[in-house]
Chain A
Amino acid sequence: MRTLKFLLQKEFLQIFRNKTLLRSILIAPLMQLIILPWAANYEVKNISLAIVDNDHSGYSQKLATKIFSSGYFKPAGAGLSYREAEKLIESDQADIILEIPPGFERNLVREGQQKLFIAANAINGTKALVGSGYLGGIITGFNSEIRLQWITPPRFNPAPVIEITASNWYNPLMNYKVFMVPGILVMLVTMIGSMMCALNIVKEKEIGTIEQINVTPIRKYHFILGKLIPFWVIGMVVFTLGLVIAWLLYGIVPLGNIGLLYAFLAVYLLAVLGIGLLISTYSTTQQQAMSLSFFFIMIFNLMSGLFTPIESMPGWAQVITQFNPLSYFISVMRMVVLKGSEFSDISHSLLVVSVFAVVLNGWAILNYRKTS
């Protein structure tokens, strides 16, 4: 125990003395938490729409006004021919073309139906998909408005109409920040835990201090605990700061029990530090450790359900996400913060992450013995 105390003393002394490291541990993640949620936003705005109006009628004007007043679209060019609009797409100035055929108003009034043409630039798939969706919605709305004007409602409603009203539970305003902030916080804690821990141990190998440590009576578990505990504490501190920022800046207050979040975090950090430890046993230089952890963190982040829902991934990818500790914590965070989930809801995730923690650390410790 005494030895461990001195090791921890030394470790914290080194961390606090290294100002650059301290900054990148504490300030950098918080900056990311302040910046990223604004950028990682699925809400598609500012879609450049080129309207090719071949009709120039009152209705076509009305439709255009309705579309642009929705706030999602901004006009690209005016009075365009279809060819000109295509050019705009090619030069990336327009995302979607809406073509209104000649005689739109006349045919609509006379025949009661008319067709519109939508062409979307699918290079940015999300923008194309969401943009056409919005556009379709607006046109449908426009459609029912016209019908209301034309059809005098009968006294009794003979044709039943099904009206759909959607309500977003747990996030009524569909605020993406509420959804993203908890996830990004988890991502940051993961990066700090695994990378910093791996780099710190490998640094001792690289500059040779481990050689000197190995000829002292310091036991392996002393050394490993001496490395894990400081970064476990740092992970806790960063998480706490992150929650404070989420509250101050984004007004996010966990609905569920904060103690439950910390309990999960405590176990989760062990698993993440285990990854760092494992990486450190397989690398001899900081460069190797850096590229290894970068590889894993990229996969963990992109396959965690943070940016894209796991349910829409192909089957094999969903299998991989089951071995990704990040995906468990992100879902637990969202459940507890947004929905107020309780212990029984997250107990399965907690169990899985505990298994990760035991397996990863056990593997790392076994491997550590062999190589030194």
Chain B
Amino acid sequence: MSAVRLENITKTYNKGTVSAVSDVSFEVAQGELFGLIGPDGAGKTSIFRMLTTLLLPDGGKASVDGYDVVKDYKTIRSRVGYMPGRFSLYQDLTVEENLAFFATVFGTTIEANYELVKDIYRQIEPFKTRRAGKLSGGMKQKLALCCALIHKPGVLFLDEPTTGVDSVSRKEFWEMLRRLKEQNITILVSTPYMDEATLCDRIALIQSGKILSIDTPAGTVKSFRGNLFTVRSAEIYRLLNDLRDYENTGTCFAFGEHLHLTFAEERAGQEEDLQQYLRQKNHTDIELGRVEPGIEDCFIQFMKQ
């Protein structure tokens, strides 16, 4: 049985004028770490809110742990852990009071499920008498995760847990998720960071409320069509414009300090032709080479279709 299942879920806002999620279907297996990857406004939060019974879908069916999100919302609420994108614990209560409060409202105690959260809680335990509002961003995140886990949920929903957190804390956070997965907790996580996608078992790329692809990170990368090249020259902005004007350019995007380029038509001698074209345009220090595509490259390619 799938832990989470969506069938043709649709959600619109403002009386149907704004489409947030359209016809989304996917399944998440028991114990899987599933990532929803997409830019801001892609509909990730709307999907999460529908799955955590905070929002009613306009169409389609969804179930969590086998329970329908509309009919059995009460059962779902006691079985899932949800960590909203915005820090939403009581800032005027201490770390310990927050955790104890969320344990008790689920009818359990910190001690009963201490085993599950102890790895994470140990890191914030020295600050347990500090008010939650006075914690640093990374520590708030850890506390929120503890609070979402304290009742031993079957499915954990993490909505952009690493947004606004420094890169070291982000790495630690994903390490914690990996350990939780070993405890057979199904985790659904959303993120706008493409580099985090590779840490998931499977990922769904989502854009404007539509799913672009669902696959493992490796499978997603493998589905990239054509060869990807990285180009660079002394004047990167002029280079981008010139490359977009080039007759054999498929896609061309800035990627850090380089440009990522695919050819419209793969043919022999294409690289030499391009070099020549760029020299004609008076570019200097030209670098051109093959590169392995990443999730972001795949995302851009899916988006273009």
Interface positions of A (Cβ within 8 A of B): 2-3, 6-7, 10, 13-14, 17-18, 207-209, 211-218, 372
Mark out the residues of chain B between 87 and 111 whose CB falls within 8 Å of any chain A CB in the assembled complex: 87-93, 97, 101-102, 104-107
Q: How many angstroms from the CA of A215 to the CA of B156 in the assembled complex?
A: 12
Known: A208-B88, A211-B84, A218-B105. A13 touches B97 (CB 8 A): yes
Q: How many angstroms from the CA of A216 to the CA of B80 in the assembled complex?
A: 9
Contact A10 B101 (CB under 8 A): yes
- Chain A to chain B contacts (Cβ below 8 Å), 25 pairs: A3-B104, A3-B107, A10-B101, A14-B92, A14-B93, A17-B92, A17-B93, A208-B86, A208-B87, A209-B90, A211-B84, A211-B86, A212-B82, A212-B84, A212-B88, A214-B54, A215-B52, A215-B77, A215-B80, A216-B77, A216-B105, A217-B74, A217-B78, A217-B105, A217-B107
Q: How many angstroms from the CA of A3 to the CA of B104 in the assembled complex?
A: 7
Contact A216 B92 (CB under 8 A): no
Task: Identify B88's interface contact among A7, A13, A207, CB under 8 A.
Answer: A207
Contact B104 A6 (CB under 8 A): yes
Does B262 reach chain A (CB closer than 8 Å)? no
Which residues of the partner chain A approach B93 to less than 8 Å between Cβ atoms?
Answer: 10, 13-14, 17
Q: How many angstroms from the CA of A138 to the CA of B101 in the assembled complex?
A: 71
Does B63 reach chain A (CB closer than 8 Å)? no
Contact B54 A207 (CB under 8 A): no
Contact A212 B89 (CB under 8 A): yes
Chain B interface secondary structure, helix, strand, loop or mixed?
loop
Known: A215-B53, A216-B77. A2 touches B107 (CB 8 A): yes
Known: A10-B101, A217-B74. A211 touches B54 (CB 8 A): yes
Q: How many angstroms from the CA of A3 to the CA of B108 in the assembled complex?
A: 11
Which residues of the partner chain B approach A214 to less than 8 Å between Cβ atoms?
Answer: 53-54, 77
18 other contacts beyond A13-B97, A212-B89, with CB at 8 A cut-off?
Answer: A3-B105, A6-B104, A14-B90, A209-B88, A211-B82, A211-B84, A212-B84, A212-B147, A214-B77, A215-B52, A215-B77, A215-B82, A216-B78, A216-B106, A217-B74, A217-B105, A218-B105, A372-B54
Contact A215 B54 (CB under 8 A): yes
Q: How many angstroms from the CA of A372 to the CA of B77 in the assembled complex?
A: 14
Nearest A residue (CB) for B79: A217
Q: How many angstroms from the CA of A126 to the CA of B166 in the assembled complex?
A: 67
Contact B88 A211 (CB under 8 A): yes
Q: Encode B39-70 as 1/0 by CB contact (under 8 A) with A.
A: 00000000000001110000000000000000
Contact A6 B101 (CB under 8 A): yes
Which residues of the partner chain B approach A14 to less than 8 Å between Cβ atoms?
Answer: 90, 92-93
Q: How many angstroms from the CA of A200 to the CA of B69 in the assembled complex?
A: 29
Which residue among B78, B80, B92, B102 has the maximum number of chain A CB atoms within 10 Å of its CB?
A: B92
Q: How many angstroms from the CA of A6 to the CA of B110 in the assembled complex?
A: 14
Q: How many angstroms from the CA of A216 to the CA of B82 in the assembled complex?
A: 9
Contact A209 B89 (CB under 8 A): yes
Q: How many angstroms from the CA of A158 to the CA of B80 in the assembled complex?
A: 99
Which residues of the partner chain B approach A13 to less than 8 Å between Cβ atoms?
Answer: 93, 97
Q: In the A-B complex, list the 5 residue pairs whose CB atoms are closest, starting with the nearest.
A: A208-B88, A217-B78, A6-B104, A215-B82, A212-B88
Which residues of the partner chain B approach A215 to less than 8 Å between Cβ atoms?
Answer: 52-54, 77, 80, 82
Q: Encode B113-137 as 1/0 by CB contact (under 8 A) with A.
A: 0000000000000000000000000
Which residues of the partner chain A approach B90 to less than 8 Å between Cβ atoms?
Answer: 10, 14, 209
Q: How many angstroms from the CA of A236 to the CA of B82 in the assembled complex?
A: 38
Cβ of A216 to closest chain B Cβ, rounded Å = 5
Which residues of the partner chain B approach A2 to less than 8 Å between Cβ atoms?
Answer: 104, 107
Which residues of the partner chain A approach B105 to less than 8 Å between Cβ atoms?
Answer: 3, 6-7, 213, 216-218
Q: How many angstroms from the CA of A216 to the CA of B101 in the assembled complex?
A: 11
Which residues of the partner chain A approach B82 to less than 8 Å between Cβ atoms?
Answer: 211-212, 215
Contact B101 A208 (CB under 8 A): no
Which residues of the partner chain A approach B97 to less than 8 Å between Cβ atoms?
Answer: 10, 13
Which residues of the partner chain B approach A213 to less than 8 Å between Cβ atoms?
Answer: 105
Q: How many angstroms from the CA of A372 to the CA of B90 in the assembled complex?
A: 19
Which residues of the partner chain A approach B80 to less than 8 Å between Cβ atoms?
Answer: 215
Contact A18 B92 (CB under 8 A): yes
